[in-house]
Amino acid sequence: MVPVDVFKERVARAAEGDAWVIDGNYAGRGARDLVWPRADTVIWLDPPLSVIFARLFARALRRSRTREELWPGTGNRETLGHQFFSGDSLFLWALKTHRRRRRELPQILARPEHAHLTVHRFRRSEEADAWLDRQPATAGR
């Protein structure tokens, strides 16, 4: 983790161009205010908690079994103990934040300063896939 000011500077630089995609999980570190004014579209992937848990479980098992390094060169690897019995568990994080995000994000998106955004909320992978298939092909995609 870099200091918040360094993080915000990097995000601002990444969003300077004419076209970019930024993962929304950065919003928690204050990037939303940097990115959304320049964005035209928000894609909200909003699967049910059961789907999130199933995917986390499969990923945790795979990464623990293969000893996959999370970020190359860091030596950082998931363990089952960390995923299931740690205060930093992604399962615990998902459980704590899922309902709050579903409640707060529509309120945030309804603010006047976000009226320029086109919002696509997908609860199922098939919905997101179908939308993506309808988008024109662009260079680099």
Residue with tokens 């909320």: 121
Confidence (pTM) = 0.76
pLDDT tens-digit readout, 67-93: 877 667 777 777 677 677 777 788 888
pLDDT at 89: 80
Task: Give residue 114's pLDDT band: very low, low, confident or very high (50, 70, 90).
Answer: very high
pLDDT tens-digit readout, 5-38: 888 888 888 888 888 888 776 555 578 888 888 8
In the chain, what is the straight-line distance between the N-terminal and C-terminal CA atoms, in Å? 28
